[in-house]
Structure formats: structure tokens, C-alpha cells
Amino acid sequence: MTEQGSDEWKALRLGKATASRVSDICARTKTGWGASRANYAAQLVAERLTGNVAESYSNAAMEWGNATEGEARAVYSFFQGVTVDLIDFVPHPTIEMSGASPDGYVGTDGLVEIKCPNTATHIDTLLGKSVPEKYILQMQWQMACTARQWCDFVSYDPRMPENLRLFVKRVNRDDVLILDLEDKVREFLADVHAKTVTLQEMAA
């Protein structure tokens, strides 16, 4: 089992399109693809050319979220009455150089995706009772890679009063959306491959 965030885990993802960035792959403006898509493509091209994982941005809030994830998983498991099995990077079954790293398998059909955000974001999630679109896309891609039928979105903040610390909302597999995501990822990866080959030829 490769721990998420470890050097080995990062190596498994090197140069590949992953679930957490599917929203960037799909990002559009009124005039075309968004800047986040181009930036992500450039990152993957660089990783493929250099063999080095791109440096990831981190701040205190992100580090706190990562440190709190284990507690969140335990609380979710307890209140839902389930066991969460940790997962390595899971390649997409048919699209090379792509995959996902869900936060865990739940039973035979489910996944869990855990977020430990800042308190303001957690409060917005509690009041809105909904899952932000970028996480919907992330979870649908995870289901595409794992063949699972649903994914529980978890938002957890232990700084809140006890009955407001945990938010869970189930997102069911959407095969129509998954087909659209697969088309977009294929197009994106073709663009990444073409740019990589061009630069390799220039360097030869």
C-alpha cells in the first residue's frame, strides 16, 4: 500500500491526468478552454520531459487538512457504520496515462472522498447541503477508474460544535457525465502527448 502524498505515490501519478485535476481539464471560458487547463497540460508535459514531479503548492490550511484526514475517516466510519479500505493510485481501465486516488473503498460498490477545509468553507457546505461541482467531477472520475457505483463526499471540521463537524452526501455514478469526461480527458491527453513529442524532437 502506497501512502497518499508519499514520494512513491507521486511517482505513480507522474505525467498522468488525475481525478483531482479533472475540473481543470474541463475548465472553459466564453472563448475556449480555461487557463487552468493549459497550466495543467504544461505541468504534465514538464513531468514527462524531466521525469520529475512538479512541486506542489502547500500552505498551513492544506497541511492541517492533510493531517486531519485520518481523524475524519475514522469519524465517518464510526457514524456510517462502515469500514474504509485505503487505496493506491488506480489507473483508468482504458485511458492510458490517467487515473485516480480516492480516499478509500467502502464496501463492494462505494468510495469516499474526504475534505477537511477551513471553517468558512465547511459552514458553506453545511448550509448549502451540496457538493461543489469540481468535487462532483473528481468523484465521477474516481468512479470511472474504479467501476464503483457511488461516492460519499465528506466535509469534516473538528473545530465546530460536535453535531456540526461531519457532513456526508452521497453522489451516485453518472454514466452520461463519465462518458463526457472521458472524451475530454482523451482530448486533453492527446494535446499533452503532441506537445511532449514536439519538445522531445526539438531537444534531439
Per-residue pLDDT of the chain (204 residues; tens, 9 = 90+): 667 767 787 888 999 999 999 999 999 998 999 999 999 999 999 999 999 988 776 677 778 778 899 999 999 999 999 999 999 899 999 999 999 999 999 999 999 999 999 999 999 999 999 999 999 999 999 999 999 999 999 999 999 999 999 999 999 999 999 999 999 999 999 999 999 999 999 998
Q: Which three cell numbers stand for residue 185?
A: 480527458
The pLDDT value recorded for residue 12 is 86
Interacting residues of 163 by C-beta distance below 8 A, sequence separation 6+: none
pLDDT for the residue numbered 130: 92
Q: What is the DSSP letter of 91?
A: E
Give the residue from 12, 34, 15 showing the smallest Cα distance to 196: 15
Q: How many helices (H) and strands (E) does the chain have?
A: 7, 10
- As a whole number of angstroms, the distance between CA 4 and CA 22 comes to 18
Q: Which cell numbers in the block locate residue 159?
A: 473545530
User: What's the rounded Cα separation, in Å, for the pair 189 and 8?
Assistant: 23
Q: Is 32 exposed, middle or buried (0-12, 13-18, 19+ CB in 10 A)?
A: exposed
CA angle 114, 54, 21 (to 5 degrees): 40
Indicate the helix (H) or strand (E) that contains 114: strand 110-115
- Least Cα distance to 83 among 100, 61, 105 occurs for 105
DSSP state, residue 103: S
**What architecture is domain 7-203?**
Alpha-Beta Complex (3.90)
Residue 188 cell numbers, joined = 486533453
* Distance in angstroms (rounded) separating the CA atoms of residues 201 and 204: 5
> Where exactly are the structural domains of the chain?
7-203
- Residue 74, helix vs strand vs coil: helix
At 90 the pLDDT is 95
